[in-house]
Amino acid sequence: MAAKAKRGSRNGIEWRTDTKGVTRYRGVLNTKTTGKANGPWCKSNAEAKAWRVKAQGEVASGVRRAGPSMTLRESWAQFIAGAQAGTIHDRTGKPYKPSTLRGYERAWKRIDPEIGAHRLDAIRRADLQALVDRWAADGVPAATIRNSLDPLRTLYRRAVQRDHVAVNPTTNLDIPRVSNMRERIAPREEAAALLAALSEGERVLWASAFYSGLRRGELRALKWSNVHLANAQHGPHIHVRESWDDKEGRDTPKTVAGVRRVPLIPQLHALLREHKLATGRAGSDLVFGRSATEPFTPSTVRNRALAAWKSANEKQAKKLGRALREDEALRPITLHEARHTFASLMIAAGCNAKALSVVMGHAAISITFDRYGKLMPGGEAEVGRLLGLYLDDATAPDGDIVALRLG
């Protein structure tokens, strides 16, 4: 006759024995601060007691608080359903962008098999650090590791705000530095040469990336009503208001700061004016669309540019009667890298970091410094030299010297 399953509890420890005679134990905590909380099932009574002692210490120190008894997987399901329905907002108080949620869902597929079944309040920083270390040891790219943690950061930020947990375990993790990313930036002369090799129809699009820094989605959604070739109040500018998402269609820019005015430099102003006359579009028509209402296809734009640059290299090689050296040939670039080139040109022209951050549409100036700080003039030695000169010249008007570089 098969043995019957048994269960019981004593002194805060629950136990159960299955039909095969295997016994498991778990600690139970029930206080006014936390309500009832169950620990994980353990192989021994000692392990269950150790969990209970640890949990009691967390209650005493304020680390463990009352909260819903749910797993990370359940918490995630609740969050993603609310975010997709528009009832759960991001930190700015606005609905999550569909592209952001798609990125979260891709990242969650890596998180869920690892710790999805664990309770929200049972995860510790050490647990996540061990996971990060294992991924790094397995050769997972640093950027992938960082992105994979994004859903957890969002879940725990909400949990802390709602007093479900007292400590956010995703903070202060030792995450591998993303050091293998090399964004291509074309110098001023090379950017001009790349544009010159393109047909007139293609040149204006790439020039807009090189000389206005719009994101690819923003270029795809740009309407003539937002291109102000003449404006008495703000001067000629592009008013970035929308972006194009492959699945959702027309959408708001990537961040709140993405809604911005970008000044039109004379070189781009002339190209856009000619392009408008050539296409005959206006108002709500797309500036660079396949038609007045259909956005351009990135792969088509890319392939046309590659063909033009290849053709230009072949013509130059034929003219010289030899193969081009690496420094002589036009090197292909992407629209995203053209945006980075715009930032480098702005810095070389003397634009200060705050203005650059605004024109690029960065959510915070820290992003600008992280990405482009190395391109900015005025390193530590130069700053010290400027300050020394300023202090030595007691007769100089305030700010005259420091403004040379720190403006």
pLDDT value for 370: 77
d(CA 173, CA 130): 10
Q: Which residue has the tokens 């102000």?
A: 228
Query: In the chain, which segments carry CATH 1.10.443.10?
Result: 188-342
Task: Give SS3 for 227.
Answer: strand
Beta-sheet strands, E only, within 141-300: 227-228, 237-240, 243-245, 249-251, 260-263
Cα Rg of the chain (Å, integer): 29
Give CA angle at 136 (130, 142), nearest 5°.
Answer: 120
In CATH, the number for domain 72-161 is 1.10.150
Rounded to whole angstroms, how far apart are CA atoms 155 and 153?
6
Q: Where are the beta strands (DSSP E) in 296-404?
A: none
Q: Give the mean pLDDT of 254-283.
A: 91
**What is the token pair recorded at 258?**
């993405």
Out of 112-116, 196-200, 397-401, pick the least confident. 397-401
**46-79 burial code (b ≥16 CB/10 A, e <16):** ebbbebbeebbebbeeeebbbbeeeebbebbeeb
Least trusted range by pLDDT, from 232-241, 359-368, 397-406: 397-406
Q: Where in the chain is the domain with CATH 1.10.150?
A: 72-161
- Spatial separation of the C-alpha atoms in residues 297 and 318, rounded to whole Å: 32
CB 240 within 8 A of CB 214: yes
| Dihedral of the alpha carbons of 29, 30, 32, 37, in degrees to the nearest 10 | 60
In angstroms, rounded to a whole number, what is the distance separating the alpha carbons of residues 250 and 286?
A: 12
Percent of the chain beyond pLDDT 90?
A: 45
Stated as kind and residue range, the H or E segment containing 15 is strand 13-17
Domain 188-342 matching CATH 1.10.443.10: the answer reads yes
- pLDDT value for 62: 61
- Look at 4-8, 78-82, 104-108, 319-323 and tell me which has the smallest mean pLDDT: 4-8
Cβ atoms of 249 and 354 closer than 8 Å: no
- In the chain, the N- to C-terminal Cα span, in Å, equals 87
The 10s digit of each residue's pLDDT in 333-350 is 999 999 999 999 988 888
Beta carbons within 10 angstroms of residue 17's beta carbon: 15
Q: How many CB atoms lie within 10 A of CB 250?
A: 14
Give the pLDDT band (50/70/90) at residue 388. Answer: low
- What are 27-76's pLDDT values in tens digits? 887 766 556 677 788 889 999 898 888 877 776 766 655 555 678 998 89
pLDDT at 391 exceeding the cut of 50: yes
pLDDT digit string, tens, across residues 141-162: 888 899 999 999 999 998 888 7
Average pLDDT of the chain? 85
390, with CB counted inside 10 A (0-12, 13-18, 19+), is middle
